[in-house]
Amino acid sequence: MPEELIMRGKTASGTTETLNFGGRTPGYGYHLTDFQLYPSASLGGSAAELVGSITADDSAMDPANPDFDSPGLIGNFAYMWSVHSYVDGMTYQSVINDLFVITQDLILMVTDVTNASPINWQARFKKVKLSQSAEAVANFNQFSIYDG
């Protein structure tokens, strides 16, 4: 059984996608360990500003305006690329709650602030063995965030 799971795709800017954990193995959960974005257009262009969020909530969180007080936000990523005479380079920032135990579906939202182009994304998850009680607690926690 693989110890890691990678989900990846290309999602239209400003839209959401469900990361499906419905077919997971009972007695196991996942931790988000890595979340990355990469532009799909204007690779030779002058600028790119991409943001993304992954939530364990009933709705997506605007990745351009994240609320780190929300218990449902488990991953946020910002990527900025600029080629101008006054600045040249790439910066990115990723914040991940890698202790959150995932047992149910997640919602991904991505936005290309500069070009409104689709965004390539990749999320890496690590599989963790759970006792029955730990699985029940993780399911309850994720459900209470979703239902809250």
Give the separation between CA 12 and CA 17, rounded to whole angstroms: 9
Query: Which domains are assigned to the chain?
Result: 4-147 (2.60.120)
DSSP H/E element including 132? helix 132-147
Give the separation between CA 4 and CA 59, rounded to whole angstroms: 26
Q: How far is CA 40 from CA 6, 13, 29, 37, in A?
A: 19, 11, 31, 10
Q: What is the pLDDT along the chain (148 residues), one digit of tens a residue?
A: 568 999 999 999 999 999 998 777 788 999 999 999 988 876 666 677 889 999 998 889 999 899 999 999 999 998 877 665 555 566 778 899 999 999 889 999 999 887 788 999 999 999 999 999 998 898 888 888 876 6
pLDDT the model gives residue 89: 65
